[in-house]
Chains A and B, each alone.
Chain A
Amino acid sequence: MSQEAALSFVGRVVTDKDFADRLSSALSNLTDPAARAGRLSEFARKQGYDVVPDELVPYLPPVPAELAEADLEKVAGGVGGFSAPAASRLALLCSGTGGSPAYAMDCVQLNPSRNRN
């Protein structure tokens, strides 16, 4: 268990579509949270990431109240043995855009000034 393993695992889920698809398949047909958590850990370990579901909690945003769990499951298939809707949000990140469309942060001007080239 380590922060680095969790960081690597989440990073792989959101940048490697094949990996995310395999994770999604591994968790399909599992509805019991404990079973999903167990399968997630097993999947991660098999892939070389010593991660437990609790370590992924910081990466999961709160669930908007207006979104039903079932809706999110339908969208993303559900990932993780933790809060299914929140995990689905993480899975949504793997949907091709690589970023959640739910947050309108492109209006923020942070004045990046440095070109490192």
Chain B
Amino acid sequence: MQLSLSSWVAERQLEDGAWVVFAPHRSGLPVLVDTVGHALLDAFAAGPIEMEAAVRRVSEAIPPGMAGTVDAELRVLTAAFFSRGFLVTGPEPGRHAATAPEMASRSLAVWLELTDSCNLSCGYCFVRKGGLAMTDEILQRATGAIVSTAVTRGVKEVEVRLAGGEPTLVLPAMERAHDLLVKGLGAAGIALRVTVVTNGTCANERLLAFLRRPGVTLAVSVDGVGAAHDLHRIFAGTGRGSWEIVASNIDRLRADGVRLTLGATIGEETCTSFPELVEWAVARQLPIVLGPVDTPESPWRGERPDRGDYGRYSERLIESVEGGFRVLERHLEAGTAVPDLVISQLGFDHPFSAWCCGIGSGYVTVTAGGDVASCPRTARERVAPLGDDLITVAASLFPYSPAERNGREADECLACRWFPVCAGGCPLMNLLVDDDPCSRSPLCEFRRYVIPRYVEYLGKRLLHEVRRSGGRMPHMFQKLGG
């Protein structure tokens, strides 16, 4: 049996003879390999070669006396590389293949819009405020539909995002939704995870009690620190910025042991604050989910943004996010623990072959008025009544397939190394900008920067873990269970 290095594998040299290696088309986060591990990969790089020949080539360069043990070790390492998709047994296709959304998704994510009201008035918000709150009758029907969908589809876990508007304005509805879901899903043996998506302006005792419930976490949306946050995130009545109260509430919630994540919604005007936000998060050990705003300058109002503006926006994003990475890396070098950083809509752990967000398959929105939408952004544009199978309803509202790409010879995305991580970007944004959900993301330039940069950063984190353990650098190091 002959093996060769996959043409899709990406690698970058770090320090101390360590390399970060990543197979974007296969499950699993990047791994760290040492000099020996990298030499073994190199042995397979020139083309198909028998494992024994590669092992011999590497072991010959290792001091005598260790050869007997080294060969077995190198075979195990070869097996690990094969398992991770770094090595392949035959020729690979020159392009990735996109697939239709998988309708029998094993996980279901629901954006449950409990109200469209909000106490803030952010310029870029896609929710059109109508003073609507979900009634108990709709809540019962919505949660019933979530349960029946999960049962019908054989889903093992449901993730519900309690959202708005601002969901903490309707705290009793949050409690009621949770009660109903726990009862319905629990009876079916289906796991439930709940995230409250909030602007962080409310933190009372009742909310704290709710957040102590099992499986409930909090995601606080922030745009930056101080003035950057206050640029858009202003109170609806007074126009006053919300940063001061949000920062104070976050510290209070942390002190109370609430598990919370920062949702960094950085845009063209606020992204320069991202390094400062990262510094702020490191000081509090708060995980960050980075989600750049999809449109340059102008808010999401349904009008078509100019693709030309994205070049400027991407440049600003790149500069700002690079600053954030440098903050994290400086802390790593200083031996400080750093919180997790996740980038939304990018699949580093599990490759995408369909859409990057599960639209039309495993991701559904239910509005305060009791309608179903395929995405919160389209909740006022195209909706359908609640049905027993939410996925079927959502799919009917977004009747496109990424597999359309396969028939297009000129599709740039399928030839891109990073397609399994990016999937061409947000299909709604592509649709808005190009009238084609399968076009190339307007933020392609940013994505081509941030994907390999994030891989490099993860490699540095792994190297930091190895150093912190005080042990030898292993031939291959990966996150536990990864």
Binding site for B on A (CB under 8 A): 2-4, 6-12, 14-18, 58-62, 90, 93, 96-106, 108-110, 112, 114-117
Contacts and interface: CB of A to CB of B under 8 A. Distances in A.
Contact of B72 (A11, A58, A109, A110): A58
Interface of B: 1, 5, 9-13, 17, 19, 28, 31, 34-39, 42, 45, 51, 58, 61-63, 66, 68-70, 72-73, 75-84, 89, 452, 466, 469, 471-478, 480-481
B79 A14 contact: yes
22 contacts: A3-B1, A10-B79, A11-B80, A11-B81, A11-B83, A14-B83, A15-B28, A61-B69, A61-B72, A97-B469, A98-B80, A99-B474, A101-B474, A103-B66, A106-B472, A108-B61, A109-B17, A110-B38, A112-B13, A115-B13, A116-B11, A117-B452
Given A11-B83, A110-B39, A116-B10, A105 B475 contact: yes
Contacts of A12: 83
A103 B75 CA distance: 14
B421 to A, nearest CB: 14
Contacts of B51: 3, 7
Contact of B19 (A3, A98, A112): A112
A10 B51 CA distance: 14
A99 B89 contact: no
Most buried by B among A2, A98, A101: A98
B62 A15 contact: no
A38 B280 CA distance: 56
A60 to B, nearest CB: 6
A61 B5 CA distance: 25
Nearest to A2: B1
A11 B79 contact: yes
Nearest to B76: A59
Contacts of A11: 79-84
B82 A105 contact: no
Given A8-B79, A98-B80, A103 B35 contact: no
Contacts of B37: 99
Contacts of B474: 97-101
Contacts of B17: 106, 109
B306 to A, nearest CB: 32
Nearest to B18: A106
A105 B70 contact: yes
A9 B70 CA distance: 20
B452 A61 contact: no
A83 to B, nearest CB: 12
B10 to A, nearest CB: 6
A90 B77 CA distance: 11
Contacts of A114: 42, 45
B481 A17 contact: yes
A93 B473 contact: no
Given A14-B80, A112-B19, A101 B472 contact: yes
A7 B73 contact: no
B69 to A, nearest CB: 4
A102 B89 CA distance: 30
B57 to A, nearest CB: 10
Most buried by B among A4, A93, A106: A106
Contacts of A58: 72, 75
Given A10-B83, A110-B38, A116-B45, 6 more contacts: A2-B1, A18-B481, A100-B73, A110-B36, A112-B38, A115-B11
Nearest to B1: A3
B35 A109 contact: yes
A6 to B, nearest CB: 8
A67 to B, nearest CB: 12
A15 B5 CA distance: 18
Given A17-B480, A59-B76, A106 B36 contact: yes
Most buried by A among B58, B79, B84, B480: B79
Nearest to A112: B38
Contacts of B38: 110, 112
B72 A15 contact: no
Nearest to B16: A106
Contacts of B478: 15, 98
The 4 closest A-B pairs by CB, nearest first: A11-B83, A99-B474, A11-B79, A10-B79
Contacts of B84: 11, 15
Contacts of B83: 8, 10-12, 14-16
B12 A117 contact: yes
